[in-house]
Amino acid sequence: MTERQRDHLMDELINQVRFLQTLIDAIPNPIFYMDSNGLYQGCNRSFEEKWGLSREEIVGKTAYDLFPCQEADLFDSADRQLLEAGGVQVYETQLRYDDKSLHSVIFYKATYQDTAGRTEGLVGTIVDITDRKKAETDRDRLMIELQQKNKELEGIVYVASHDLRSPLVNVQGFSRRLSKSCAEIEGIISALELSGEVRERLSQILSVSIPKSLGFITSSVEKMDSLLSGLLRLSRLGRAAICFEQLDMRTLVSSIIESMAFQIESASATIKVGELAGCVADRVQMGQIFSNLIDNAIKYGSAERPVVVCISSEEFAEGVRYCVEDNGIGIPIDQQDKIWEIFNRLNPGGPPGEGLGLTMARRIIDRLGGSIWVESEPGVGSRFYVVLPKSQGRAQEG
């Protein structure tokens, strides 16, 4: 090899070294490399900035020359272990940069070999996860607070609903007594000698005005009783034990349809059930969900065409997606988020109901580790989708 060729190769080598140094300097995470004796051979600009040292102050030094004893012990022990074993090393720890604040970091390191396969040293990079750890801590704290608030709210709802039933029972009882008393008064009046005008006036009060008012009271009490019953069911739902089991959904849906035979026949509805994949869930609560979805599909059918409800499923890698599709009145786009809210009813003057069915369905699905949503077009119909895991492990993780 001529001197000119050697100079050319040297220039290429220098250019390559400069290129690699520029490359690692452009990386925001600290990068370093050292030989098999634990002496730093180089680093990038981020490494210099984090510890407030120049490259000249770092190269040729050990961890004990550069860092506090406690950190140096950690670095040296991990480096020696990696150099002896070879391969890759990843670990999480805490350290202080030049800003003196404590940072949570992850070290990623790997050994490198010479042409003979001998370990020459190691390279490493440091990823600062302080912000991520703080976000995780904040998230965990908020989740605990949310669980506590939900538990408190469920308790308040349960107590309030339970305690309000006592005065409600009194109102119902005294309303019946008042109605009975009116009948007794009418009997007494019929035996009295009264003028026609007085008799007619009393009769109007006892047989029309008071019964009408009692009717309003009874109707309001029944509505209040229905709402309180719904609140009690909702509060108990959060405390109800979940029994995960492998479900034959075809059998479950068929039994629901059989139990709703009178309602289906009265509405002249057609229920079409396709092949339904199994899933892992609670049998009772799944029955409640599908009963509610089928009931809604029938109740909100269109007057312009016979009610048709189609139930199908589609399997994918991690679960099953069920679909309850109808050809009913549909749901306006601005109402599709509101239907999941407590006591919300699509048409308050329409079919009877408490406005709790879909609220409870979503609560149940959340507890089962699944999801539920709707796609709908007014005047065309709605499709309610329920996604659940196929295996018990995934269900319990959710």
Question: Which of these, 348, 310, 355, 301, lies nearest to 328 by C-alpha position?
Answer: 301
**What local confidence, expressed as pLDDT, does residue 201 receive?**
87
Q: Say what angle helices 283-299 and 357-367 make with each other, to 10 degrees.
A: 150
pLDDT at 238: 67
Beta-carbon contacts of 114 under 8 Å, excluding residues fewer than 6 positions away, are: 120
Confidence at 3, pLDDT banded by 50, 70, 90:
confident
Question: Between 10 and 112, where is the model more confident?
Answer: 112
Measured CA to CA, the distance from residue 122 to residue 32 in angstroms comes to 9
Report whether pLDDT(397) > 60: no
Please, what's the b/e burial string for 86-107 (b: 16 or more CB within 10 A of its CB; e: otherwise)?
eeebeeeeebebeeeeebbbeb
Q: How confident is the model at residue 350 (pLDDT cuts 50, 70, 90)?
A: low
Task: Give CA–CA dist 307/271, Å, rounded.
Answer: 8
Question: Residue 158's pLDDT is what?
Answer: 72
Interval 142-163: pLDDT, tens: 989 888 887 777 777 777 767 7
**Separation CA 328–CA 324 (nearest Å):** 12
Specify the pTM.
0.55
